[in-house]
Chains A and B, each alone.
Chain A
Amino acid sequence: AQKVTQAQTEISVVEKEDVTLDCVYETRDTTYYLFWYKQPPSGELVFLIRRNSFDEQNEISGRYSWNFQKSTSSFNFTITASQVVDSAVYFCALSEATGYGGSQGNLIFGKGTKLSVKP
């Protein structure tokens, strides 16, 4: 069965600190996709990144970086030099690629990690 675990419920840091949000997933599929979304207080989920199971290269986008390790089934997210605007709930999600018209694309979300960045 698919499952996404975000063990950290809440994290509080002071501005300019680096912070890592953990994500561990379970799936039996060999082909799958992992996502991170940000949910600010306004409610909308903002897409941050998609990674497929065949691409283990780590990615950096500005202050954001992601570390994908299939050996430990983890897809961790690091924010460098955090800012107050980074305060939000962050969700990790998993989707299996089971074929067109099936459950492909259906996202399984973790419970989210609430990040508070204080000035």
Chain B
Amino acid sequence: ETGVTQTPRHLVMGMTNKKSLKCEQHLGHNAMYWYKQSAKKPLELMFVYNFKEQTENNSVPSRFSPECPNSSHLFLHLHTLQPEDSALYLCASSQETGTSVQPQHFGDGTRLSIL
């Protein structure tokens, strides 16, 4: 099993659809993250979960709804998306120690296209 697995790898959906992105980490980490990577923009942090509790929400529109049922799984529920939401969505995990910042380990991403 690779460290961080994301499914699906590619997703095409209409603006009225509802779908979910899934992320699973097999590294025993306690923090998980969602990032958005658009063309010509830096990677943007969307959500952070530490010990399953959301600690950061970088002003993400409510049409993106995260869920973290346990420390190994992270979901991003999508509904009523806009064309500008088309991007690569990356999941990452890290082991937060409280004393130092640890590297984040990323999945391969889900390439999302909104029609």
Q: Do A and B bind each other?
A: yes
A interface vs B, CB < 8 Å?
Answer: 4, 33, 35, 37, 42-47, 50, 52, 91, 95, 97, 99-112
Minimum C-beta distance from A41 to chain B (A): 11
The answer to whether B43 has its CB under 8 Å from any CB of chain A is yes
Q: Could you tell me if B108 and A43 are in contact, using CB atoms closer than 8 angstroms?
A: yes
Residues of B within 8 A of A91 (CB): 43
Interface of A is mostly: loop
> Which A residue sits closest to B4, measured CB to CB?
A44
**With known contacts A52-B100, A97-B100, A97-B101, A45–B31 Cβ distance under 8 A:** no
Interface centre among A4, A101, A105 (most CB of B within 10 A): A105
| A14 CB to nearest B CB, Å | 27
Kindly state the separation between the CA atoms of A115 and B92 in the bound complex, as whole angstroms. 23
A50 to B111, CA, bound (A): 27
Residue of B nearest to A98 (CB): B101
A118 to B59, CA, bound (A): 41
For the complex with contacts A43-B90, A106-B56, A111-B41, 6 further pairs of A-B residues with Cβ separation under 8 Å are A43-B108, A47-B105, A95-B101, A100-B99, A101-B98, A106-B45
Interface centre among B40, B105, B106 (most CB of A within 10 A): B106
Nearest CB on A from B4, distance (A): 8
Known: A100-B96, A101-B50, A111-B42. A43 touches B111 (CB 8 A): yes
Are A42 and B108 in contact (CB-based, < 8 A)? yes
The reply to whether A43 and B100 form a contact with Cβ atoms under 8 Å apart is no
Q: B45: which of A37, A46, A97, A107 is its contact (CB, 8 Å)? A: A107
Give the nearest-CB partner of A50 in chain B.
B103
> How many angstroms between the C-alpha atoms of A97 and B98 in the bound complex?
9
Complex Cα spacing A35 to B94, Å? 14
Q: What's the minimum C-beta distance from B3 to chain A, rounded to whole angstroms?
A: 10
The chain A residue sitting closest to B40, CB to CB, is A111
Query: What is the CA–CA distance of A105 and B31 in the complex, to the nearest angstrom?
Result: 9
Residues in A whose Cβ lies below 8 Å from that of B104: 47, 105, 107
In the complex, whether B109 has a CB less than 8 A from a CB of chain A is yes
Nearest Cβ distance between residue A76 and chain B, in whole angstroms?
18
Partner of A44, one of B31, B41, B56, B106: B106
